[in-house]
Structure 1
Amino acid sequence: MDKLKPPHELKIAGGNLADRWERFLERFRWYLAAVGEDGSEDKKKVAILLTVAGAEAQEVFRTFTYEPAKAAVGNQPAVQAEKTAEQFNTVVRKFTEFCVPRKNVIYERYVFHTRVQGEGETIDSHSHVNLGRCKIA
């Protein structure tokens, strides 16, 4: 691992965190494969992830909580315990939940339907109006 430079740390504050997280995770997965650690046990991959991601990401990691198992109650089925902080996929999912905000579909529909095109304005002249990525259900 010492011969190959790891990806830059994940910056949590400012800007588009969702995009930075997706790019960081992609580079991190490439890094794991390049250094031959992609098949390692989860505990080791989590440790490498947190080391490479840096201090800000480590602070975020410390805030993660994991749901305990729940017994079936009435019509509600039993729920298995959420996997622990030593499981790589669980940690990646927790970071994704933290970094990628949920969309308020009702609000997004409102914004879409109340948008007024100005005179002489092309449909793609505003970066926040990107119909190609519009995911309104």
Structure 2
Amino acid sequence: MTGTIRWNMVMGACGFVFTTLVSISSNLWSTSLIRGLIAGAIWFLLGFLLRYAAGILKAPGREEPQDQAAYNASSSGHNVDMSTPDETDTLKDLLRNTPTENEPKAVSHEEQEIKFEPLTPPKFVSKLPQDGEQLAQAVRHMAKE
């Protein structure tokens, strides 16, 4: 575990103070203190968990070297220095847009012979009865409901 028990006590005290201050506005002072003590105990125990996780992340099996030569020897191969190749010539060729022999020749708009055909949507047909008597019966029927 990393650190000392003081970290647990500080976390427990912060949990106690925060919970008590939040709880005192809507509860009795005794209820707020009890809830604060419970929260402080929980935060105290969470401190152990956080200290244990910090100890694992620190990797205690691997000690830090004391001198620079040992540090350079142990850290070789950990860093990769990558750089991108200079591609300015390729970019300039793309910007010039000069077609090469492998690319097909662009066809002009006039050579494509595009025929314009407007859309012909179907017409909306009403399903209303054509007879006046049927229309009157439909209105009477809907008025009764």
TM-score (norm 2): 0.22
TM-score (norm 1): 0.23
Greater helix share, structure number: 2
